[in-house]
Amino acid sequence: MQEHFGKTMNLARIKLMAFLLPALCVVQTVSLHKLACALPTSVEKDSNLRRLQRFFANYALDLDIIARMIFCLLPVKDSLVLSMDRTNWKFGDFNINILRLGITYKGIAFSLIFKLLPKRGNSNWEERKEIMERFVRLSGTDCIDCLVADREFIGKEWIGWLNTMRIRYYIRMRQNFRVIKPSTGERLHAWWLFNDLRVGQEKFHYKLFLHKGEYVYLAGSRIKTPMEFRSFRSSYASIEPRARFRRIKNTGRLRRPSRP
């Protein structure tokens, strides 16, 4: 830990952090009273409690350093699948609304960067852009395979920014959204393009469609009765009106997939 915090934190605080992290895993709560009991030190519980209180009251952690440390601890450093999500709950009358960006590994998303939103409800594209830019500043874009997100994370400006940055993405789309055939100007529901699929079948459309002014590719599969859709751009985007999201592995960065 001294490698990561040595320039911004004194040795006493680094030791406290080293004690605190295992204690969090043991008690699985952020209660300072319980953490004070779990710290592996030779002093009394009350001394541990006062030490923790002083640490959190007087020291502001550099969250970028925390993100770098978590990234260094991960067993993978390239072809990363980033996951964007948001959680919102209330503590009394106070809204706690957190937008987070994590790295998925073996089905688990490790949160790397987060932002507290000063409101309730959905994030806007600038807030999403901000945490993505923080990740790019810390780790670059070469390590990113793709970004996955739920149907909340849509919008012309957001998709346009991802396309400009050439970040591949898979994003769900709501059932009532429409796409346009550029060749004819015809507007249609995206799920109509996959209405002929049987359960377990998948289809990829090799022609571009317009969605809110952005060119995307569409792919879909039928799972039981609902339909699942994904749309793709020079990076990939996913739209899925009616079913759980399931990602199709693509063929490479910024390339149109080759025909089977």
Tens digit of each residue's pLDDT (9 = 90 or more) over 70-120: 888 888 888 899 999 999 888 888 888 999 999 998 888 888 999 999 888
Contact 142, 136 (CB under 8 A): no
Residues in contact with 108: Cβ distance below 8 Å, sequence separation at least 6, in sequence order: none
Q: Scanning the structure block, which residue is given the tokens 């939103």?
A: 117
Amino acid, res. 232: F
Coil, strand or helix at 81: strand
Beta bridge partners of 149: 84, 171
Which 8-state DSSP code applies to residue 171?
E
- As a whole number, mean pLDDT of residues 199-219 equals 80
What gap in Å lies between CA 59 and CA 9, rounded to an integer? 9
Tell me what pLDDT residue 73 has.
83
- As a whole number, mean pLDDT of residues 155-164 equals 88
What gap in Å lies between CA 115 and CA 258, rounded to an integer? 38
Tell me what pLDDT residue 249 has.
35
Q: What is the pTM of this model?
A: 0.75
Q: How far is CA 236 from CA 110, 163, 169, 215, 233, in A?
A: 22, 9, 5, 10, 5
What gap in Å lies between CA 218 and CA 203, rounded to an integer? 8
- As a whole number, mean pLDDT of residues 133-161 equals 89
Beta bridge partners of 215: 210
Average predicted confidence (pLDDT) for the chain = 79
What gap in Å lies between CA 73 and CA 68, rounded to an integer? 9
